[in-house]
Structure 1
């Protein structure tokens, strides 16, 4: 790494930390871009050189990237969003327990830091989904205790709906126990005093889900009109005046060619991207895409998943999907803790808020 890059890396982190963040994260040491455990081919940071960027198909919204000369004083004047809707897509396949714990440890501090970094935020909604349409204990052929296999309708319908927000521990391991969100809704309030406990309840989704994940399909379903309409599982979650942020955390690829049925998500990365953008009125500037994935090419710290639960698959389709959004960041799901990732993610969310189209 040359001297100019080192200086730029220090300047970037100095600006981020200069926003007065109360991070309770284990932030990555050092000022360089190396060691962050992530990649971002086009995701703008809050202090990158002035200019514009577009979606990877060249047809996205024109984005203004904040000028590097901006100081932390008055930086909030550039922010155009007052609300954030954040969807966490958490892989609940058998190899994901450690990653779920890292997520639970890092997210509350990340949310707190975001509120400090973007002081005009008024509302912060958080929803958690897993990557299949089954409850935590298995498939429709082996439903939850207390549910009649011949009458699945006796179970709460949202327990069996792909993309429905999770309101019970370990993806409904016990239908009688709930996470008791303070909102009274299927999503959480990131500003609530009980948020850390609520997120810890919902985000540890367990590791007995379908091993053929539908990461993108679950996200597309979560923000679809079918699940957002009155009376539906995620009623009213996505707001026109809110920045939509999603984070997909998975150690496997979303591959619709993989057996057994139903396989992975229907469609291709471009179609997934278009569905998310449609949910935001056609503005990809109003979406921030984040991923903790195996990478494409695979991150150096990810062993082959077949060698144990600490590895990951190369995730070319998921990386393609996330990187279609003008503001994005992809980090390694194999990292030993996600503090460095969340520092980068905070930068991207601030940029997304600065580029928000009301």
Structure 2
């Protein structure tokens, strides 16, 4: 596979990413007003979150480009399972720590809290969980002077500068991130309300706290799909260490957000196995989860992407695009465009999924 290693960013910082075709990069504007973004579903053409399909059959084929559908189960005379998630949504965010991801992490941190507020305004009983899942196994300080934690002693020496890491902090892809470290990371223990390893709706400092867990830095690389799969798997949800205990709720809609500016070639498994992991986590209900991906668009059909390689016609599809095409409710946007318009396009779809969510019995 010819796979571009940069989707959008500073080409001067491509150390260790020399394989694949050269890419002409576009720096996204931090201002989203008036922009339509490049959100797409399936085939790459722009489609709003209210798009519907008359069919209800789910396809796992990477070539399925029908986009999200809204075929919802209808309660049987009131005797069936409860309908509606009662405002409960679990947001799982997996962010790449590739060396080219600094600007993209800043865009995520500034746009995602507004996305959450917009959904909250439409769901009176909004009850949110937000977790950042590690997309790589690295956890180590390179310079004690970079530590921003008040308990960190720069004179204590490496590796942890006097800060005691928890089991779930160290080298655990998919585990909840509460102490991001590395170049450009928060480099401190994030103070999450209630002592959880994820944000809850009562969090008094939502934007600041999300900024802390989402600023994962640019020195660890990224396997965001693998981070997603492991985050909802038995290893961290029900295993002996339970790094993600309490995050995933049976009576909540699951919304996955994947941020990676390159092809995801290093995640273990296949696209089909990733989709199956999502289905298993949500008891086989394709309407119980949605996947949003912001990634390189160099593989857009007909070379219509903004992150333009020298010869996009020679490129195979990004596996993240295949993932979006293979789920019932998937959205993909260009990481080389402002993030806010992309998130805005998904709000109505997510709210409708929540309102029609069938609680498993």
Q: Given the two structures, how large is their TM-score scaled by the length of structure 2?
A: 0.70
1:322 alignment counterpart: 324
Listed one character per residue, the Cα deviations across residues 292-325 of structure 1 (whole Å, up to 9, x for unaligned) are 01133265211349xxxxxxx9752111112222
Mapped pair 1:99 → 2:110: no
Q: 1:286 touches 1:355 (CA, 8 Å); kept in 2?
A: no
Give yes or no for contact 2:136–2:223 (8 Å, CA) kept in 1. yes
Q: Cα distance 1:172–1:352, how it changes in 2: closer, same or farther (>3 A)?
A: farther
Aligned to 2:133: 129
Q: Find the counterpart in structure 2 of residue 57 from structure 1.
A: 60
Question: Among 224, 229, 233, which residue is 1:220 paired with?
Answer: 229
Match of 1:196 among 207, 230, 249: 207
**C-alpha distance in 2 between matches for 1:135 and 1:172:** 11
CA distance 1:202–1:352, shift in 2 (3 Å) = same
Measured in 1, the distance between the counterparts of 2:355 and 2:57 equals: 15
State whether residues 184 and 215 of structure 2, in contact with CA within 8 Å, keep that contact through their aligned partners in structure 1: no
Q: Distance in 1 between matches of 2:261 and 2:293?
A: 10
CA shift at 1:93, angstroms? 0.9
CA drift of 1:215 comes to: 1.5
Residues 289 and 328 of structure 1 are in contact (CA less than 8 Å); yes or no, is this contact kept in structure 2? yes
Rounded to whole Å, the distance in 1 between the matches of 2:141 and 2:304 is 31
2:141–2:158 contact (8 Å) kept in structure 1? no
Q: Is the 8 A contact 1:47 1:65 kept in 2?
A: no
Query: Is 1:247–1:290's contact at 8 Å kept on the other side of the alignment?
Result: yes
Number of paired residues? 289
Q: Which residue of 2 aligns with 1:167?
A: 178
Given the alignment, which residue of 299, 307, 331 partners 1:302?
307
Alpha-carbon deviations, 1:32-65, whole Å to 9, x = none? xxx4312113898564468454422399x98426
**Would the alpha carbon gap of residues 271 and 81 (structure 1) be closer, same or farther in structure 2, given more than 3 Å must change?**
farther
CA distance in 2, matches of 1:178, 1:275: 30
What SS does structure 2 have at the residue aligned with 1:38? coil
- Whole-angstrom distance in 2 between the partners of 1:156 and 1:47: 43
**Aligned pair in 2 of structure 1 residues 49, 244: CA closer, same or farther (>3 Å)?**
closer
Q: CA deviation at 1:354?
A: 3.5
Unaligned runs of 5+ in 2: 1-29, 74-82, 143-155
Q: 1:50 to 1:218 in 2, by over 3 A?
A: closer
The answer as to 2:244 corresponding to 1:234 is yes
**Following TM superposition, by how much is the alpha carbon of 1:352 offset from its aligned partner in structure 2, in angstroms?**
2.2
CA distance in 1, matches of 2:184, 2:32: 33
SS at match of 2:124: coil
What's the C-alpha RMSD, in Å, of the aligned pairs? 3.4
Equivalent residues of 1:65, 1:351 under 8 A apart: no
Preserved contact between residue 85 and residue 251 of structure 2 (Cα < 8 Å): no
Compared CA separation, residues 223 and 167, structure 1 to 2 (3 A): same
1:93-131 CA-to-partner distances (Å, cap 9, x unmatched) read 10000000000000111111110122232x100001232
Q: Distance in 2 between matches of 1:164 and 1:237?
A: 11
1:39 — aligned with what? 40
Tell me which of 116, 121, 124 is aligned to 1:119: 124
Q: Is the aligned partner of 1:110 residue 2:115?
A: yes
Q: Is the 2:197–2:243 contact (alpha carbons within 8 Å) kept by the matching residues of 1?
A: yes
| Displacement of 1:175 | 11
| SS of 1:98 mapped into structure 2 | helix
Q: Does 1:276 align with 2:287?
A: no
Hey, what's the Cα distance between the residues in 1 that align with 2:137 and 2:323?
A: 21
Change (3 A) 1:300 1:107: same
The answer as to 2:318 corresponding to 1:334 is: no
Contact residue 182 and residue 189 of structure 1 kept, 8 A: yes
5+ residue gaps in structure 1? 1-24, 67-77, 139-143, 149-153, 256-263, 306-312
Query: How big is the shift at 1:176?
Result: 8.5
In structure 2, the CA distance between the partners of 1:194 and 1:163, relative to structure 1 (3 Å rule), is: same
